[in-house]
Structures are given as structure tokens and as C-alpha cells.
A and B are shown apart, each in its own frame.
Chain A
């Protein structure tokens, strides 16, 4: 196991797993190999496979080579740089560089990604309602790209071909300017054709506009549901995940505290499959579709999202231990989209 994950294992110290379905007392007893997918003992005794899907044992993703760890992406919010304009408004600025990068999406499986800022999903851009936003976009990729934001803006700032700056050729740059409006959970992605390919290659990220008065204090995290069509046949994906690395939170459960409010910013960017879904075991959450309202529409344990749909989930974990979460589409779950919360 690379040092990145090993370090997390040491600091967080959660129980180990052999399989997603293995959250039993027996598995919990094997605390020593936590986080080290590379040292999982072979599953002995049973016929195999009944404990749920599993990557090949003894292998793990090299997060250091990837340049990012999905565990860090969860709570990594990019607030950019701010300054106050003469009018008294806050101007918030980011610089996003797109470049091509090979990333490991499952142990031993490399994917030639196109990235915003070297990671998939791209940085989670966060701001407050009413601010003036300025995104300087530099295209260092070998392919033409744009940044297309969801939110109110003029067509010239839409980040699509033949509008405003249009397609940004390799080596070129542009600046998108718009207001943080409306508050809610949005996203951004490249809008160059073929659209499916530019998105499926990894050019997307979450865009959060906080309401003026903010939301209640919580342990916040971003989950971008995505997938990788590694053989490029444009027919579904071979790998499914939240924040790119399949089964990552099976090996590194997400640390949360019992009774503390947890807020999950859930975005679906999955290409090629019509819908995605999200399900938490043993608990229910308040759901705020698109995050544009401060009142939840539903108390549920499962939501379905089409591509580009997103919503805010809020819950308090009642019981300590391993709490599973996964797409309630078994195929996606068994192809990598599942994980655990480690509730303390």
C-alpha cells in the first residue's frame, strides 16, 4: 500500500475489511490490516464470492502516483481567492488548468484521463450566494476544452462552442465571469464535442453555492458519482465509483462521528448509463434536491439521479460501526460503487 493511504490508516485507525459485505465481528477483529488492501488475508473457508464483490486481493491503487486520494477529495473544498470590489461585493477567483493524465481507477487498471487540475473529479469550487465569480481557465491538455457551469449566467459565459470565447484550444486560456446564483449544489464540466467522451474522460467537478446565511454546522463531504469506460466502447462503464477510485471506501471507510450532522453533497456525472443512485444502510437522510431549498423534500434512504442531477443529503448516524453505502443498482455496486462509513 502506498504511503498516502498507509498514513491515513494510521491516523484514522478504523476497522478493516476483506470484502464490502464482510463487516462482521470476525472482520472487525482484524484491525491490523486496515487500509492495506495489499495485506488482506485470502478469504478462507467459504466457496468464494458470497461475501460480495471484490477486487483481486493483494493489490491497491497508488494514490501518490494518481496525485490524489479520494478520501481527501471528500472534504476538499476550493474556496479560491477573494477580494472586495469597490461596490463592496466579494469577488472570488480561481485558476483551473486542464491537462491530460493517466490515473489508476482500480488496482492495476490505468485510464488515460483528461482532468481539471490533475484530479478526477475536478476541484470542488465553493462560494457564497451573491458573490462575483471569476474562473480563469487554462487549457494545457492536448485537446480542446471549455468549462461549462450550471448556474445563472449570460450565454457568452456558457462555456460552449461558438458562444463567447467558444472552444479553448490547447495552450489557450479564457476567463468565465458570472454571479454565484442560485444557491445550491451545482456542477461544471467540459462542453466540447463529442460531449460524452469529454465528460467520460473525467472533465467534471462539483460547484457549491452556499446560501447567504449558510447551512447548519456539519461534517461536510462531496461525493461525485462517476464511472470509467476503460475500453472506450461507449456502452456502459467497466468501473463505477464515488470520486473515481472503485471500492476505495471499502478499504478506507469514511470517518464520521455518531450524532454529528453529516452533509453529503451528492452529484451524478456518470456517462453512458442513464441513471445512478445512492443508498445508505440502516439510516435515513433528509434530501434537498439541487440544494436550492433549505427545506428537505423527503426523508429517505435511497435517491436516484440522472446525469447532471445532484442533491444535498443530511443525516446523523445513530449507531457506531460499519455503515455501508452504495448505488442501489446492484450492477454498479458490484462494479466498484460501494463503500463504508466508519461511525465512531
Chain B
């Protein structure tokens, strides 16, 4: 039991920046460059941690506390989420609701900090983020509801490791809908192309980046790390749905899980390199489509059980 706990926490805390490195490498490959080394995110974190933070005059304690609080919330959500066949440290009936709300809380805190700076740029980013958050949260909830209905359990650890491995042959099409919808939500929540460009320098086209424009030093390190963990958690949801093969040996399963996550990172890199960013007023339509996918899946499940 203790080994499981330790392994889970280690993977959760240590692995996520590696994913970002893989995405960067994939994009560089598509661009014909060699790109930054795979461990670059770790170096970035280290560099940021050693710098001092600069605070503007209008910022108060909210601005200073926000990065830590949001990262803590995201890590707390990570503790609820099973990894491969590792049971999460904390699990209880109904933890999917807490899961979604932890992410919402993290977003809320960052938005508050962005508004706290008093600059209109951050305010613009905050409003965009809040808008897209409305639609993506509904979709996320609906997807989790579908999965809960399918596996008859309201706990994340009931849904992800065990309950669904036999479902592919029975309800395959619905699961495809859920997976596609979750993948789109992943792109939205983690500010990936086609919704938002994480590398852009033009503030007018940013959504997430512009919110955190004012953070620096350790705060920026926290936010950067939190982003990586959030990507990891969403990715693990998608990956656990697609690959349901289990060998019941902890180490082998975890190893395969890490490989699958790297595969997902490569996929995200491919999506980012081959698509262009959507115009801002078209992003709601993408979110609507994700919502429609999950609604259709939900209706099919309802129609079958009734």
C-alpha cells in the first residue's frame, strides 16, 4: 500500500514537466528544428525558482497567494485521480464533483489575481478564460457523468482503472464520443492550439498567457508547474479511457502508462503543429461541438438504460 502511495505521488509530482518537453520536441520536429532538450521544462523551473518576484504597486495579498493556491488545488485534484492501476491516496464516493470544482477553484483564483493587477490586458485574458471555462466545465461534467453511468460508480477510482475495460465492446461508440470530447476539453483547458497559442508573443491573441503576464520568479514557477500538472491529469483521463489493458503488476503498468502519456504528448504536439489557431469568435463553436458530442453520448446511454 505504501509503495503504491509513494509511486503515485512521485509520478504525479515529478513527471508532468517531462510532458511539456515532449510537446516542444514534437513541434520542433515538425518545424525542422532540433528544439529544446527534453528536460528543458525542469531547467526552466529551476531557473525561475532562483529569481525574485516583482510585484506591481496595485497588487495585494491575493496576487501573491494566487499561484501557490492554484497549484495546490491542481495537485489536490491530482491526488484524487488514479494513475494506471495505482489507487489514488484520497478517494471517496462522489469525488468526481470535488475533482471538477478543484479545477474551477484554481481557475477562479488565477482570474482573481489577473483582475487584481489592475491592468486591462490581464482583465481581457481573464474574461476570455472565464467565458471558455463556462462551456468546458459543463462538458467535463457531462463526460464524467456518462462515465459514471457506464461504470456505476461516482468515484474516480471506480471509473478509471477497472470499470471500463469491458465496456469498449459494448458501448464503444459512446466511449469514442467521450474520448473525443475529453480531448477537445483538454485542448481548451490547457490552452493549446487551436484554442490558444502557448508560445505567442502577441498579447492580443493570448488567452491564458496574458492572465499570468504579471507573475514572475517563484510565482511564475508555480504557475508553470501547475499548468504541467493540469495537462498531466487531463491527459491521464484520456489515456486511461483509450488503453484499458492491465497486467496487474504495478511497475509494468506504470511504465506503460508513462509511455502512453508520452504518446499523448506527441499527439498534442502534432495537433499543434498541423492546425492554426481558431479565430476567437469561432472557439465557442468548437466548445459547442464538444458539448454536442457528450450530449449525444449521454442521450444514447439514457435511451439504452431506460
Q: Do A and B bind each other?
A: no
